[in-house]
């Protein structure tokens, strides 16, 4: 194993260099175009194109008798373009949806490709053709001439993306605006699909028909978890794809019987799993943390509001756990946990086996109560809701109201002279009518 590691790191073996550079090109271009495909909601188009390319490979070999990669890629490209046109035709001129059209084209073209490959294998030169490697890929078969073809295609793809970046961006996020500027959205969309065709062709030999869609989709989806900006997503997807290609080559060089293409896909999948868990905005852990923080904030505000309204009802500032539990309709254990959190935050104080608000807690509690009551007044005086339907929507909104929104509500209600904004009383008058979670009776 140490010998294989040394050979890989030194890049002294020409075959290792060819496979490494080829895998790097495949992963990078896949991540680059995959970003547009994912955001354009064309994730499965790469799978359809890969399967549609198979009959083109077989026909190119049958007509030329050559296994040269330029000839096979030319045939695969023509077949892939024909597949795209078939998908567009079905979507535009029938009532069949895009996902169904992709499934139809994928199945039909792949079936034709398998039939042609079977015919070639049974012919006099079939056993020597090795075209079945296009099904599952064989990165180890990449030679210098293949690498040159792949490099030319990759450079063309990158150049086209740089030149048409603005057009692709507008196509993804606002096609109506693009059309209003005089651009043909169909032409730009077909150009994007054509570049995806070429991207699939770059990786077809190494990764194969079955797995090439994974190298197009997975790096882009992984990058989506880390950013909200298109150019950052593209760079991350390109990096993830290239790193997956390099890692796949390294792992397969340690164990020669392990194919490079599937390992590349597994590494890209590892990036996706890591991103799905630890992405700063869209990751599962970040989402769980936000939801937990929101739940705790709402519970804190419910308790603060209950304390303020009990003070108004009873004219005192110290309450037993039983009183708070009855007001909130919370179990004692939940009340204890939340009260301890608020003590640590400096919002409540424990005195004589009871609870009272600190100055900071009282200020925040008054803001919550004011937010709730202002929103109730707004809904009632604008005839949006009846009196007995106010509490639930006000309770749901009070956690979202900012000081700026409260100021606007105060100015609006004061201008209409419906309430005294200096003393926002309970619109229900008799009692707090506090219902936990905004539940109506």
* pLDDT band for position 410 (cuts 50, 70, 90): confident
Chosen CATH of 286-359 out of 3.30.70.360, 3.40.390.10, 1.10.1040.10, 1.10.10.10: 1.10.10.10
Q: Is the pLDDT of residue 428 over 50?
A: no
What's the half-sphere exposure (Cβ side, CA atoms, 13 Å) at 355?
A: 27
Rounded-to-integer distance, Cα 15 and Cα 143, Å: 7
Average pLDDT (69-88) is: 86
**What is the model's pTM?**
0.77
DSSP string for residues in 341-386? HHHHTTSEEEETTEEEE-HHHHHHHHHHHHHHHHHHHHHHHTTSS-
Q: Is the pLDDT of residue 47 over 60?
A: yes
CATH number of 2-281: 1.10.3470.10
In contact, 257 and 247? CB cutoff 8 Å: no
Comma-separated ranges of CATH 1.10.10.10 domains in the chain: 286-359
pLDDT at 382: 64
* pLDDT band for position 391 (cuts 50, 70, 90): low
Rounded-to-integer distance, Cα 69 and Cα 117, Å: 17
Exposed/middle/buried for residue 273 (C-beta within 10 Å: 0-12, 13-18, 19+): exposed
How far CA 117 is from CA of 146, 237, 377, in Å, comes to 21, 34, 75
Which residue has better confidence, 340 or 12? Answer: 340
In contact, 356 and 345? CB cutoff 8 Å: no
pLDDT at 288: 92
Crossing angle of helices 98-122 and 45-64, in 10° steps, is 30
Average pLDDT (278-286) is: 90
pLDDT at 436: 38
Average pLDDT (364-378) is: 79
Comma-separated ranges of CATH 1.10.3470.10 domains in the chain: 2-281
């Amino acid at each position: 194993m140490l010998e294989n590691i040394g050979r890989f790191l030194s890049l002294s073996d020409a075959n290792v260099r060819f496979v490494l550079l080829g895998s790097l090109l495949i992963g990078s271009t896949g991540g680059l175009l995959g970003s547009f495909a994912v955001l354009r909601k064309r994730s499965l188009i790469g799978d359809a194109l890969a399967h549609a390319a198979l009959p083109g490979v077989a026909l190119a070999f049958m007509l030329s008798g050559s296994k040269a990669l330029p000839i096979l890629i030319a045939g695969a490209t023509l077949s892939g373009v024909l597949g795209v046109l078939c998908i567009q035709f079905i979507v535009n001129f029938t009532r069949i949806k895009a996902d169904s059209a992709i499934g139809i084209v994928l199945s039909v073209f792949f079936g034709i490709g398998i039939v042609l490959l079977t015919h070639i294998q049974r012919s006099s030169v079939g056993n020597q053709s090795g075209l079945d490697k296009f099904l599952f890929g064989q990165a180890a078969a990449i030679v210098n001439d293949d690498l040159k073809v792949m490099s030319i295609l990759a450079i063309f793809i990158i150049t086209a993306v740089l030149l048409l970046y603005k057009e692709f961006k507008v196509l993804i996020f606002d096609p109506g605006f693009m059309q209003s500027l005089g651009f043909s959205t169909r032409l730009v969309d077909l150009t994007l699909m054509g570049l995806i065709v070429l991207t699939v062709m770059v990786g077809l030999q190494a990764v194969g028909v079955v797995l090439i869609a994974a190298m197009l989709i997975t790096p882009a989806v992984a990058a989506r978890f880390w950013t909200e900006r298109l150019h950052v997503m593209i760079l991350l997807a390109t990096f993830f794809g290239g790193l997956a290609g390099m890692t796949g080559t390294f792992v397969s060089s340690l164990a020669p019987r392990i194919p490079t293409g599937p390992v590349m896909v597994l590494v890209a999948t590892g990036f996706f799993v890591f991103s799905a868990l630890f992405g700063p905005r869209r990751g599962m852990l970040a989402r769980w943390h936000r939801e937990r923080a929101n739940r705790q904030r709402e519970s804190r505000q419910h308790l603060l509001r209950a304390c303020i309204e009990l003070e108004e009802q009873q004219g005192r500032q110290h309450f037993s756990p039983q009183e708070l539990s009855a007001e909130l309709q919370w179990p004692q254990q939940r009340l204890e946990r939340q009260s301890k959190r608020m003590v640590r935050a400096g919002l409540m104080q424990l005195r004589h086996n009871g609870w009272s608000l600190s100055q900071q807690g009282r200020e925040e509690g008054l803001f919550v109560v004011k937010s709730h009551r202002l929103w109730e007044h707004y809904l009632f005086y604008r005839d949006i809701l009846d009196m007995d339907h106010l509490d639930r929507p006000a309770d749901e909104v009070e956690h979202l109201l900012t000081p700026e929104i409260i100021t606007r509500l105060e100015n609006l209600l004061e201008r209409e002279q419906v309430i005294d904004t200096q003393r926002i009383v309970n619109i229900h008058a008799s009692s707090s009518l506090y219902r936990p979670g905004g539940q109506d009776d």
